[in-house]
A and B are shown apart, each in its own frame.
Chain A
Amino acid sequence: LAKTTQPISMDSYEGQEVNITCSHNNIATNDYITWYQQFPSQGPRFIIQGYKTKVTNEVASLFIPADRKSSTLSLPRVSLSDTAVYYCLVGLTGTASKLTFGTGTRLQVTL
């Protein structure tokens, strides 16, 4: 499973756009990139998943360059409730595919 590297922590003010970059130099051809959000004492919540280029949903955007060795999660206009840990995972999709969590990025949003 590809190893991922993310910043340990980030700070942002409410209303700003936040971009969290994840490095995954050893990503395999069939690997997908998935981001999860976790609040304290809760299970991770799926945010977005992609394979290449750009993916957007109602919550976030995911940018993946052509070489796929990194990806950027973009959160538009964050609010205090976006304070959480964000995990970038790389691996096969499918119901039987194991996920390996890295350290994650602790995002702190303040007024």
Chain B
Amino acid sequence: GAVVSQHPSRVICKSGTSVKIECRSLDFQATTMFWYRQFPKQSLMLMATSNEGSKATYEQGVEKDKFLINHASLTLSTLTVTSAHPEDSSFYICSAGRTDTQYFGPGTRLTVL
């Protein structure tokens, strides 16, 4: 299947710092990518839709100023968690669609101390 990568796979940071997570579609172009968050033992929750060349669309309850999304090219979307706090610690996963199927990245584990 199509390959979606994420970087880094794991990050630990201090409270108050910002963290950037990259999502790349390796063998196809994606005008739309999605960002999810998953807490332990829970399902994936959609955070936002990343649109190449335009503003991201955020789901209800997701702070757009805290989770900055940039989709500057057809193969790269970035999620920046600004002024991270311990409650932002989670597993962040992106996805990109190729034809009729969404393919997911391997995820990024964020731990905020």
Which residues does A use to contact B, with CB under 8 Å?
A: 32, 34, 36, 41-46, 49, 87, 93-104
Q: How far is the CA of A111 from the CA of B9 in the complex (A)?
A: 32
Chain B interface residue bracket vs A:
20 to 34
Cβ < 8 Å to A, chain B residues 24-81: 30-32, 34, 36, 43-46, 49
Given A41-B107, A95-B32, A96-B31 in contact, is the A49-B101 Cβ separation under 8 Å?
A: yes
| B99 engages A100 (CB within 8 Å) | no
Q: How far is the CA of A34 from the CA of B1 in the complex (A)?
A: 15
Q: Which of B31, B44, B97, B99 has the most CB of A within 10 A?
A: B44
B45 (CB) vs chain A CBs: closest residue = A101
Q: How far is the CA of A41 from the CA of B93 in the complex (A)?
A: 10
| A95 engages B104 (CB within 8 Å) | no
Residue-wise interface mask of B (72-113) relative to A, using a CB-CB cutoff of 8 A (1 in contact, 0 not) = 000000000000000000010101111111111111010000
A45 (CB) vs chain B CBs: closest residue = B104
| A99 engages B32 (CB within 8 Å) | no
Q: How far is the CA of A44 from the CA of B34 in the complex (A)?
A: 13
Q: How far is the CA of A63 from the CA of B45 in the complex (A)?
A: 27
